[in-house]
Amino acid sequence: MLYVYKFGGTSISDASRIKHVAKIATDKRKKIVVCSALDGVTEKLIHLAELASRGRETDVTHLIGEVNSLHSTLLDGAIASKEAREEASKRIKEVVEHLTVISTACARVREVTPKERDAILSCGEMLSSPILSAAITERGADSLYMTGGEAGIVTDDNFGDAVPIFEMTYHNIKRKVLPLVESGKIPVVAGYTAKTQHGDISTLGRGGSDYTATLIGAAVRAEEVILWSDVDGLMTADPRIVNEARVIDEVSYAEAREMAMFGAKSMHPRCLDPAEEFGIKVRFKNTFKPEGSGTLVKKSAKISGAVRAVLLVRDASAITVKGTSMVGKPGSAASIFNQVAKTGTNIMMISQSVSESNISFVVRRDGARRAARALERTMLSSGELASISVEDDISVVATIGENMKGTPGIAAILFRALADRGINVKMIAQGSSEMNISIVVDEIDGIEAVRAIHKAFGLDLL
């Protein structure tokens, strides 16, 4: 029986945590380990790419120095054996050099292409994986580190949010990683990173280490993929917002997918797909409380209650398009969404007025300007649309549960809870699966709305 253990950034962010994680990783099970970048490092690298694109070479050098010393200090604190430390230290030096070459070149020409940005962003996992591997080696196990590309993950060239080429990826992982485990080794794979068919480095999108873990789990038909983090499992709400949030024991793939789409645990939105396809169980566990059973995602999960979780998407924007030429004209909505899709922007919810003269839809804030500009260039200039507006100060609150389908009265409880707190609902959408009611509220009401709904459905009492 083979397992995949993925450790998130907070689980490995200091020397004692690295040692603790190495202990978990050297339990008796056969396994493949996946690790994220250290907590906050991907954000630093995003900032680095931004500085490079503005030509700020001195700041770029300074930030690389910071990233380097963060990892070198961690290595010195976490690894006692000189030999293990030297090997990891050599690798850190190599990655830092690579990072320096790319980012200074970008800073000089004041441009960072999506391909270069991925080469920069992938360095976080490429720096953390040798440290974790050294800590595992130090516990007497035989460990080695590898990038996602070396492990066999191949993607298209949609840099920043690359899509795996599944069959090839599964085939490669079986061929490259499985023999290592069979020979008693513990591979530590840099999550989030992959390569294109041309051999360029790509990344799987934010939260992508979870995706790396499920891709590997599907390829090797793992008994279970365990996503180790700093919370007890998937919870009824973000515990940073709702103190009374509870761990959910079991969820179905469909519920977990819906939760991922609405930002639960900053999971990659597609990370459960490979597990669902091959029926691989996924478990969310707390690194700091390994004795807890966490949350299990599986096919026939025990589902109690209709509403299971309430989630908040803060970084959202609503785009409203107007135009009388849309009235009664079949295909106008399709053209709009087609233009948005071409920009790689995912639409979270849609609502159209009965008069058909306007359509509002919600996207992640970082894609809103790109989507609006694409519509301006195409449909506004051709007269198909009369106006396009973007509203940024909104949040989406998603109420999720597989058994909401067919349970009467859910909407009534939800809207009463909001009305009682004087929260204005700006937009409503229910997914066709009836597994999710999403509402848009003013950004300042977001947290209060989550708390009100969480309480109204008694999620704190489960």
Using alpha carbons, select from 330, 460, 352, 443 the residue that is nearest to residue 397.
Answer: 443
Strands 358-364 and 309-322: antiparallel
H or E element in which residue 186 lies: strand 185-190
Which 206-225 positions form the footprint of Mg ion (CB under 5 A)?
Answer: 207
CA 291/CA 188 separation, integer angstroms: 23
Which CB, 148 or 323, lies closer to ligand ADP?
148
**Closest CB 81 distance from ligand ADP, rounded Å:** 27
Which 254-283 positions form the footprint of ligand ASP (CB under 6 A)?
Answer: none
271 binds ligand ADP (CB under 6 A): no
Which CB, 152 or 207, lies closer to Mg ion?
207
229 binds ligand ADP (CB under 6 A): yes
Q: Out of 230, 244, 434, 443, which residue is the one contacting ligand ADP (CB under 6 A)?
A: 230
191 binds Mg ion (CB under 5 A): no
Which CB, 107 or 437, lies closer to ligand ADP?
437
36 binds ligand ADP (CB under 6 A): yes
**Closest CB 265 distance from Mg ion, rounded Å:** 6
Residue-wise burial string across 340-372, b where 16 or more C-beta atoms lie within 10 A, e elsewhere? beeeebebbbebeeeeeebbbbbbbeebbbebb
Residue with tokens 């959910």: 248
Yes or no: say if 321 and 375 are a contact pair by the CB < 8 Å rule. yes
CA torsion sign for 122, 125, 128, 129 is negative
Which CB, 173 or 388, lies closer to ligand ASP?
173
Using alpha carbons, select from 408, 439, 400 the residue that is nearest to residue 423.
Answer: 439
How many other C-beta atoms lie within 10 A of the C-beta of residue 453? Answer: 27
Token pair for residue 41? 């490092």
Q: How many residues bind Mg ion (CB under 5 A)?
A: 3
Which CB, 142 or 315, lies closer to ligand ASP?
315
42 binds ligand ASP (CB under 6 A): yes
Q: Which does 230 bind (CB under 5 to 8 A by kind): Mg ion, ligand ASP, ligand ADP, none?
A: ligand ADP
Residue 358's DSSP bridge partners are: 322
Using only C-alpha atoms, the chain has a radius of gyration, in whole angstroms, of 23
How many other C-beta atoms lie within 10 A of the C-beta of residue 90? Answer: 10
Cβ neighbors of 99 (< 8 A, separation 6 or more) are 48, 64, 67, 120, 123
Q: How far is CA 356 from the centre of its chain?
A: 35
Q: Which DSSP category does 341 fall into?
A: H
Token pair for residue 12? 């490995």
Q: Out of 31, 71, 91, 265, which residue is the one contacting ligand ADP (CB under 6 A)?
A: 265
Spell out, one character per residue from 124 to 163, where the chain touches ligand ADP: x when CB under 6 A holds, - when not.
----------------------------------------
**Closest CB 47 distance from ligand ASP, rounded Å:** 13
323 binds ligand ADP (CB under 6 A): no
Q: How many residues bind ligand ADP (CB under 6 A)?
A: 18
Stretch that binds Mg ion, among 27-35, 94-102, 264-272, 292-300 (CB under 5 A): 264-272
Q: Out of 3, 4, 5, 9, which residue is the one contacting ligand ADP (CB under 6 A)?
A: 9
148 binds Mg ion (CB under 5 A): no
Cβ neighbors of 257 (< 8 A, separation 6 or more) are 269, 272, 273, 276
Token pair for residue 427? 């937009």
164 binds Mg ion (CB under 5 A): no
Residue 68, SS3 per DSSP: helix
**Closest CB 177 distance from ligand ASP, rounded Å:** 19
**Closest CB 2 distance from ligand ADP, rounded Å:** 22
Which CB, 8 or 164, lies closer to Mg ion?
8
Helix runs in 303-456, H state only: 332-342, 365-375, 410-420, 446-456
266 binds Mg ion (CB under 5 A): yes
**Closest CB 381 distance from Mg ion, rounded Å:** 40
Which CB, 45 or 319, lies closer to ligand ASP?
45
CA 395/CA 52 separation, integer angstroms: 31
Stretch that binds Mg ion, among 91-99, 109-117, 203-211, 367-375 (CB under 5 A): 203-211
Which 5-34 positions form the footprint of ligand ASP (CB under 6 A)?
Answer: 9
Yes or no: say if 193 and 150 are a contact pair by the CB < 8 Å rule. no
Which 187-216 positions form the footprint of ligand ADP (CB under 6 A)?
Answer: 207
**Closest CB 233 distance from ligand ADP, rounded Å:** 7
Q: Out of 5, 7, 170, 192, which residue is the one contacting ligand ASP (CB under 6 A)?
A: 192
Binding site for ligand ADP (CB under 6 A): 8-10, 36, 207, 229-231, 234-235, 237-240, 264-266, 309
Residues of this chain that interact with ligand ASP (CB under 6 A) are: 9, 36-37, 42, 124, 191-192, 206-210
